[in-house]
Structure formats: C-alpha cells, structure tokens
Amino acid sequence: MFENRTERPYIDGGLLPPTERYVFEQMHFHWGESDSVGSEHVIDGKTYSMEVHLVHFNLKYGNFKLAINKKDGVAVVAFFIQASEYEKCELFGKITDQIHNIRELYSKTPLESDCLEWMSLQELDKHYFTYHGSLTTEPYNECVTWIIYRTPVFVSKQQVAAFRDLQSTDNTNKITKNCRSIQTPVQMPPVIFTGTV
C-alpha cells in the first residue's frame, strides 16, 4: 500500500469534472465463453472478446468504498480486447504469460513494471466514449464516469483463452465468463465521443 495517497497513479482533465483528481484503485478483466462475447459495453451492436477496467476513485472522497456513494465518485477507464488470428500481442503477453501462475484463488505472481504498455497502442487523448453510468458489479451504484476507448487491442486467441483457465472461488470450476449482460437503462444517458468519427 502507499503511505501517501497522492503518490498513487491518477487521472484528471478531459471530460472529468474540472479540478477533480481520480486515483487508481484496481484493474480487472471481463471475458466471455467465446471470443465473440465478453465485453460489457456494446458499440454499434459490436461486442468484443474482453473488456479491461481501470477503476479510479475521486480523491476528495478518501477511498473507493466511500466514493461509490457519490455521483462523481468513480471513473473507470475501459479498453476492449479482441481475440484475432494475428500473432500474439507481445505487450499484452507481459500479463497473460503469467496467468498460469495465478490459476488458484489467492495466488500471486510478480509482473514487469511495463506490463501496461499495451495501452500505448492507443492514442490515449482521443477516440473514447464518455457517459455517466453505474458499476457493472454489485452494488451497481450510479457513481461512474465511464471512459471507453473505441479501438480494441488485438491479441491472440490463446491470450484470451488463458483467462478462462482461472479458477472460481470454490477452486474447482473455471471462470468461463464474468461479464454482465447488456442493460437497458430507464433513460438513455448522453454519450460523448471525443475525436474524429
């Protein structure tokens, strides 16, 4: 853990509330039973093999648990991952090459400090969607500013399949899918796209 919370990575600017700073809390992955499903967002009817979420909380609320009770409490940066026939994505491999070490619950493995370099395959200052919505897991609070990059990161089928080898909480079954089904909001929130269409 970090002694000083301001030393943690953070995001600000863009379409986030001015002067607010969102501190990195955790990163996790969603996937599906096949390569054609797995993302939790659908863009123009298209789903992707996986969706990565980088969860941040608004620094002024002190921690993630308190922040989820606030409308402007959380910002999640999302990337789509698409399994393809192409070669393995070496940058994403810095994560997926280690998955076999953490198949069992509570196991750990070190990762290289540049294991998030695959994000640099994107132009990070544009071509993303933003809307205000909810957490996609319980308690589903409406506290999230979503930042979703349009262009997927292409990886190999084996790299996506590695996630389906992770074991569930009972350590007997594998996690074949962990994505929430698409929801129909009572009122469709405005969605802003940044960059050229």
Nearer to Zn ion, 27 or 88 (CB): 27
CB of 77 to Zn ion, least distance (A): 11
CB of 56 to Zn ion, least distance (A): 12
Nearer to Zn ion, 23 or 50 (CB): 50
- Give the angle subtended at the CA of 9 by the CAs of 3 and 12, to the nearest 5°: 125
Nearer to Zn ion, 21 or 53 (CB): 53
CB of 142 to Zn ion, least distance (A): 15
Token readout for 139 is 């308690």
Nearer to Zn ion, 86 or 169 (CB): 169
Binding site residues, Zn ion, CB under 5 A? 53
Query: Among all residues, whose Cβ is closest to Zn ion?
Result: 53
Token readout for 158 is 């084996």
CB of 38 to Zn ion, least distance (A): 12
Nearer to Zn ion, 88 or 116 (CB): 116
CB of 30 to Zn ion, least distance (A): 5
Token readout for 185 is 């909001």
